[in-house]
């Protein structure tokens, strides 16, 4: 498969991107989503977003808006 992967995970702190990840399998991306929340979710102004770059849709967003 070409490209970085269909599922893009983005971690922002204070409105700035700090970490990105791309995976081809949704279940792996969702597992990483949960891990990033557990590892970094206690910090103020932290957001974790999982996107499907093929459809442009947001699959998960933490914390919920």
- Read off the pLDDT band of 65 (50, 70, 90): low
Give the residue among 2, 5, 3, 1 at the shortest CA–CA distance from 51: 5
In a domain, 18, yes or no: yes
Q: Is residue 47 part of a domain?
A: yes
Instruction: Give how many domains the chain has, as a whole number.
Output: 1
Which percentage of the chain shows pLDDT scores above 90?
A: 85
Given the structure tokens 């914390």, which residue do they identify?
63
Query: Do the domain assignments include residue 1?
Result: no
- Per-residue pLDDT averaged across 21-39, rounded? 97
Residue 43 lies in a domain: yes
**Phi first, then psi: what are they for 57, rounded to 5°?**
-90, 150
Q: Beta strand 46-52 with 7-13: parallel, antiparallel or unpaired?
A: antiparallel
Q: Indicate whether 13 pLDDT > 70.
A: yes
Pairwise CA distance, residues 63 & 46, whole Å = 8
Residue 27 belongs to what domain range? 7-62
pLDDT of residue 57: 97
Please report whether residue 58 resides in a domain: yes
Tell me the H-state helices in 1-65. 26-40
Percent of the chain with pLDDT over 70: 95
Question: What is the pTM (predicted TM-score) of this model?
Answer: 0.89
């Amino acid at each position: 498969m070409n490209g970085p992967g269909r599922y893009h995970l983005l971690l922002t702190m204070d409105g700035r991107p700090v970490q990105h990840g791309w995976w081809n399998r949704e279940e792996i991306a969702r597992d990483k989503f949960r891990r990033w929340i557990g590892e970094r979710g206690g910090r103020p102004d932290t957001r974790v977003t999982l996107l499907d770059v093929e459809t442009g849709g947001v699959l998960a967003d933490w914390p919920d808006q």
